[in-house]
Structure 1
Amino acid sequence: MSLFHFKQFVIDQENCPMKINTDGVLLGASVGLKNVRKVLDIGTGTGVIALMLAQRSHEIFVDAIDIDHFAFEKASLNFNNSLFHEQLKAHHHGFIAFFELNPQKKYDLIVSNPPYFLNALKSPKLANNISKHTNEQFFIDLISKTKNHLNPYGNLTLIVPVDISLMLQNLAPSFGLKPVKCVKIKSYPDKAHIRHIISFSNTNNRELKFEDFCIYASPGVYSLQYQALLKNFFKIF
């Protein structure tokens, strides 16, 4: 179905190359918002992460950008149809172009559920290529460009596979960003971690902290952690 009903907003994802997924909702529900007012959502897709952040704090404003035209149109529609439309603005740009057009903009938080199929075979569908496939240069650009658009105590927070997280943790210090928090996500208690929600900061006096998160308690049964995190968003909880 093209409509996904959350408790306080509805997402229309028809024709959007990046559909609602577990990665996005985990990031939207869990990223820290203390002292956050200005947010940039890179690769917003349907706009679900931006909408979740706006629901969590009425004091924030989110610039949500996407290079894909269908995603931009869909995010704009979802924002305008929500209770939080005054907090959200969609932009049809990739992050490099957006930063070039807005060289003075600074954010307390930059979030992204980025493409992550590094050097994988490309899908024949262009939209899927853009939304899911990338290479190392994408992440070098992401780290180096966002550094200059974070406020002094701002964070860049991404949800990515474990191997990319480790690559970024090694890469970021070269560009002045330090990993400060890593939420290690697994599907089941006895399985390996599959994702990291990794946060980077401009500040150099914070040690890297780790947390563990499990999605399912058993097949078809969400963990208490997951239910507690998503209870304000999903109607099933």
Structure 2
Amino acid sequence: MASIFRFKQFEVDQSDCAMKINTDGVLLASLIDMHDAKRILDVGTGTGVIALMLAQRMGDSQVDAVEIDKLAAAMAHRNFNNSIFRDRLVLHATAFQHLQITHHYDLIVSNPPFYTDSLHNPDARKKLARHTDLNFFGELLQFGSSHLSPQGKIVLILPTQLAETVAALAIEYRLYCSAEIQISSFDGDPVIRKIVTFGRMPTTTIDERVFVIYKSKGMYSDSYKQALAPYFLAF
């Protein structure tokens, strides 16, 4: 049975994807503070929703997306081809480590697997989508160090503690955290996710801001509505 999620300018069939559209992914795509990227790479695209949102948001961009799950890659490819952005989206059914490219990226994004210390999911495809170890982040940072343009950025959404670990790891690859968005469910609640931005230039201060998803139970915050208004039919 098809599972269609309709947006204002495109729709996403997620019926063959182990990981469905989620809050982390749509917040990452909508809150990235970069508007002029020409070459974008979405690592672990899943349904393709982040790539599609970025193609909508950055109208002059060329977006590459990689996905190692074959069924998800096929679904993302169909979602791309069914969109008005099809000419600017390319799906690579492989790992980012195996990409054969000669160009550099202005923006590399990922809503990566991050259950590094938890019990693995018994479902093989969900395990593939959700679980990783720090080697993944080391390889991603190394890839970024080699394939980012001079002003290019890597932007990830991660749990708080893992974000701090990855920020420390990035320094080994001469990449430095320049900004972070601290995401909480409600005002005053603990930070549950961070959107972290890495670039080549060391900085003495990190641009920090807070983002709250809900203003009350079942009611999205004005900030959330504003961020997703260009995409969601509900806003």
TM norm structure 2? 0.97
* Amino acid across the alignment from 1:125: D
Question: 1:219 pairs with 208, 217, 220, which one?
Answer: 217
CA–CA distance in 2 between the matches of 1:105 and 1:17?
Answer: 31
- d(CA) in 2 for partners of 1:5, 1:13: 11
1:53 equivalent in structure 2:
54
Contact 2:24 2:157 (C-alpha < 8 Å) held by counterparts: yes
Quick one: which amino acid aligns to residue 49 of structure 2?
Answer: V
Query: Separation in 1 of the partners of 2:86 and 2:205?
Result: 37
**2:149 counterpart letter in structure 1:** N
- 8 Å CA contact 1:58–1:87 kept in 2: the answer is no
Q: Distance in 1 between matches of 2:19 and 2:98?
A: 20
Counterpart of 1:97 in structure 2: which amino acid?
A: H
Q: Is the 8 A contact 2:178 2:203 kept in 1?
A: no
Give the deviation of 1:206 after TM superposition.
6.5
Q: What displacement does 1:205 show?
A: 4.7
Comparing 28-37 and 122-131, the one that deviates more? 28-37
Give me the whole-angstrom Cα distance separating, in 1, the residues matched to 2:132 and 2:203.
32
Match of 1:228 among 210, 226, 229: 226
What is the Cα deviation at residue 54 of structure 1? Answer: 0.8
Aligned counterpart, 1:132: 130
Q: Which amino acid aligns with 1:156?
A: I
Distance 1:206 1:57 in 2: 29
Choose the corresponding residue for 1:199, options 183, 188, 197.
197
Find the counterpart in structure 1 of residue 182 from structure 2: 184
Kindly provide the amino acid, as one letter, of the partner of residue 112 in structure 2: P
Secondary structure of the structure 2 residue equivalent to 1:118: coil
- Change in 2 beyond 3 A, CA 1:205/1:190: closer
Aligned counterparts of 2:62 and 2:33: Cα–Cα separation in 1: 15
Contact 2:35 2:58 in 1 (8 A): no
Quote the residue 2:118 is aligned against: 120
- Give per-residue Cα distances to partners, 1:81-107, cap 9 Å, x unaligned: 011111101110111112xx22x3310
Whole-angstrom distance in 1 between the partners of 2:76 and 2:145: 25
Distance (whole Å) between structure 1 residues aligned to residue 98 and residue 118 of structure 2? 25
Post-superposition shift, 1:204? 2.4
1:134 aligns to what SS in structure 2?
coil
1:157 aligned residue = 155
What is the DSSP-based 3-state SS (H/G/I as helix, E as strand, rest coil) of the residue aligned with 1:75?
helix
Q: Is the 8 A contact 1:147 1:177 kept in 2?
A: yes
Measured in 1, the distance between the counterparts of 2:14 and 2:90 equals 17
What amino acid sits opposite 1:187 in the alignment? S
Q: Find the counterpart in structure 2 of residue 145 from structure 1.
A: 143
1:10-21 to structure 2, matched below 5 A, reads 10-21=11-22
Shift of 1:201: 0.1
Q: Aligned to 1:164, what secondary structure does the other structure show?
A: helix
CA–CA separation in structure 2 for the residues paired with 1:166 and 1:110: 19
In the alignment, is the contact (CA less than 8 A) between 2:176 and 2:203 conserved in 1? Answer: no
> How many Å apart are 1:119 and its aligned residue?
2.6
* CA distance in 2 between partners of 1:57 and 1:35 (Å): 7
**Unaligned stretches of 5+ in structure 1?**
none
Alpha-carbon distance in 1 for matches of 2:144, 2:151: 13
CA offset at residue 42 of structure 1? Answer: 0.2
Instruction: Return the alpha-carbon distance in structure 2 between the equivalents of residues 156 and 149 of structure 1.
Output: 10
Further displaced range: 12-21 or 31-40: 31-40
User: Identity across aligned pairs (percent)?
Assistant: 40
